[in-house]
Structure 1
Amino acid sequence: MTTSRSRGARLAALTAVVALAVSACSSGGREETEKSGGGGNAPGSSGYTIAFVTHETPGDTFWDKIKSGAQQAAKDEGVTLKYSNDPDAAKQAVLIQNAVDSKVSGIATTLVTPAALAGAVKAATDAKIPVVGLNAGIDQYKQLGALMYFGSDETLAGQSAGERIAKSGAKHPLCVIHQAGSVSLEARCAGVRSAVAGTENLQVNGADDAAVVSTLQAKLAQDKSVDYIVTLGAPIAQDALKATAAANSSAKVVTFDLNADIAQSVQDGKIEFSIDQQPYVQGYLAVSSLYLYLKNGNDIGGGKPVLTGPSFVDKDNIAKILPFTKNNTR
């Protein structure tokens, strides 16, 4: 595809698919620049360089999907992509400022800690560099000056999860927050609590799986009334499975997000369901939307966030979705 019209059609179609789904997270601080076209357009052939900055925690497979989507969009559009990440809010802000200083064409960034990133985002908009938000910050992106947003409504996602487990009899779910200060994770747990009043939040260090397992195991051994564990990321769900086994707990596990192991656990009945926000789509749309804005002045979403979730993955649809998790696109 070589024309902006064909790219626009492809993006519109992808956005429509996302809308239908709704109705039914590299090394810290390191920057990577895409050099290979991989069957797409030559990097830089569009003349645009896009910085893609996230709060990725090294080792979290969630971010592989976001990055994969961004890379594919960059290949499709002939964009030079500069990916960087750091889970520390102040360091992520520095990465955004570095992108501004290098005079990139546009910036796509997660907004998980809006207050800490506000100054850097303002520096970008003051420099007339367009910014789009993705994955986190749905309620704050406009205030910060981002033009568009691609991600899930996390409050709605939490409510949906809470309502589903409430129907199954949940009374005392444990909602596991694996990154302190994340507005997205807090919103998910608040949503669960709105449907199940007995929801209890538990803070863990998501960068240390062994610590997550031991914290969960201790909690489950001490409190036998916990009947559901709601994890907010796929690697934490794997930790929860280990903790429930070690504590001999009967608590059921549900999770947000997917990877191949979690998808297999859903198929095997070890995890009740996953709430998928389709991170590959988030990465793809963030880059493509900036390309279309720079080239053609397009505003994807018409001033409203483009929702990529929530979408339930359970025993009814896992057979169809499982192969895509192995391709790193779901």
Structure 2
Amino acid sequence: MAQNRDDDANDGSNGTSNRTSGIINSGRRGLMQGAGLGAALSLLGGVSGAGGLISTAQAAEAAFPQHKKWKIVFVNHVTTNPFFVPTQYGIQDACAMFGMDYQWTGSATSDAGEMVRAVNSAIAAKADAIAVPIVDPNAFDKPIQAALDAGIPVFAYNADAPRGKSNPRLAYIGQDLYLSGYQMGERIASLVDSGMVALFIATPGQLNIQPRLDGASDAIKKSGKKIDIQTVATGATVNEELSKIKSFYLGHQDLKGMFAVDAGSTQGVAQVMKESGLPSKGVHGGGFDLLPQTIQLIHEGFLDFTIDQQPYVQGFYTVMEAFVFLASGGLVGPANINTGLKFVTKDTVEPYLNTSTRYEGKTTKPQIVPMKGAIKS
């Protein structure tokens, strides 16, 4: 789903070899030594600056002895997709905190063969760790095993091997994809009583999104409502997705709902909902992820919801797990991390709309965002 980003989001996050820029040297130390995070935090009193404030660099100095500047290679399936801008910021921030380096590589068009070649290149280059979305049920089994045999830990992020299938990766960091789709299906069944509902998917069969489609379909069927599900493949680029969604709607103007399981298709659904005034015709829409146009059109009332899977922490937590695994000689972790599911609606969209942070990929500027009001789960 290649798409040009704005200049701010592009800074430091595109290309195949983005690395941390020497903010942390090889003597920088991490934050989560053997006794755990609590022990590390107990040391922070000795590094407090004026007013009791400390930087992450100061915090990093407090815990670990000197270590190699380990390099983690992130292989991705859509390297220029705007969804992964906050993921790359999370990688950069964690690498700066833990004294690591990284490379961003893979495929721009969800080509599993390109991704496998990138994994093999990382093994040949003696990377210290590898992270890869397992978007194909079989293609990554052998290269991941080859990496492990070479002493290189491998983590899955954003997409994992299908349920019931064994893949040798050490841990998965990302959303429970089937469950998120199932909960979306339940939401669809609460909005639509009967009639045709279109479910749009960029690349059918790929494990980062197909489980969501399966979950949504299962939940709708289980509801018992007379809903006719039509599955529509939209393609790997945002413009292609929008064109397919427009075309489907023009040929099925009696539909009752339009929903998508990927970021680009969700933005396309929102655009078509607005252009054709579909909410006023009783048509509902929703999908996944937080592309700026999606958020804006939820605010304007053209989309019922989107689901936040928190791409920033998919990068940050993966680096963190790799660091702790390497620092402990493999004794600590790794563990699966579910990065969560959060429905964003017109009632809850305001903070996403009015706050520009690296955590959502809207700015390059590091910042601490003040908490405002009650916390909503």
TM-score > 0.5 by shorter chain: yes
CA drift at 1:245 = 4.8
Q: How does 1:75-90 map to 2 (within 5 A)?
A: 75-86=96-107, 87-90=110-113
The counterpart of 2:320, out of the listed 288, 310, 316, is 288
For residues 21 and 256 of structure 2, what CA distance do their matches in structure 1 show? 49
Match of 1:203 in 2: 233
Q: How does 1:265-284 map to 2 (within 5 A)?
A: 265-284=297-316
Contact preservation (8 Å) 2:197, 2:257: yes
Letter in 1 for 2:339: T
Q: How does 1:15-164 map to 2 (within 5 A)?
A: 26-27=14-15, 30-37=16-23, 46-58=68-80, 60-86=81-107, 87-137=110-160, 139=162, 143-164=166-187
The counterpart of 2:294, out of the listed 262, 269, 284, is 262
Match of 2:4 in 1: none
The counterpart of 2:246, out of the listed 217, 224, 227, is 217
Match of 2:199 in 1: 175
Letter in 1 for 2:271: K
Q: Which runs of 5+ in 2 are unaligned?
A: 1-13, 25-54, 61-65, 222-227, 361-377
Contact preservation (8 Å) 2:192, 2:284: no
CA drift at 1:138 = 5.1
Question: Is residue 318 of structure 1 aligned with residue 318 of structure 2?
Answer: no
Match of 1:239 in 2: 268
* Cα RMSD for the two superposed structures: 2.4
Contact preservation (8 Å) 1:176, 1:201: yes
CA drift at 1:77 = 0.3
CA drift at 1:114 = 3.3
- Rate the CA distance shift 1:299–1:45 in 2: closer, same or farther, 3 A: closer
For residues 33 and 45 of structure 1, what CA distance do their matches in structure 2 show? 18
Post-superposition CA distance 1:41-62 (Å, at most 9, x none): 59x964311111111252x210
Q: After the TM superposition, which of the residue ranges 136-145 and 73-82 deviates more from structure 2?
A: 136-145
Structure number with the higher helix fraction is 1
Q: After the TM superposition, which of the residue ranges 247-256 and 291-300 deviates more from structure 2?
A: 247-256
- Rate the CA distance shift 1:322–1:241 in 2: closer, same or farther, 3 A: closer
What SS does the corresponding residue of 2:339 show, helix, strand or coil? Answer: strand
Contact preservation (8 Å) 1:162, 1:194: yes
Greater gyration radius: 2
TM-score for the superposition, normalised by structure 1: 0.82
CA drift at 1:300 = 4.2
Contact preservation (8 Å) 2:181, 2:261: no
What SS does the corresponding residue of 2:287 show, helix, strand or coil? Answer: strand
TM-score for the superposition, normalised by structure 2: 0.72
What SS does the corresponding residue of 1:136 show, helix, strand or coil? Answer: coil
Post-superposition CA distance 1:241-290 (Å, at most 9, x none): 33345556543220111123322222221211111111101110001100
Letter in 2 for 1:199: I
- Rate the CA distance shift 1:184–1:111 in 2: closer, same or farther, 3 A: same
For residues 115 and 284 of structure 1, what CA distance do their matches in structure 2 show? 26
What SS does the corresponding residue of 1:202 show, helix, strand or coil? Answer: strand
- Rate the CA distance shift 1:168–1:179 in 2: closer, same or farther, 3 A: same
What SS does the corresponding residue of 1:144 show, helix, strand or coil? Answer: coil
Contact preservation (8 Å) 1:257, 1:275: yes
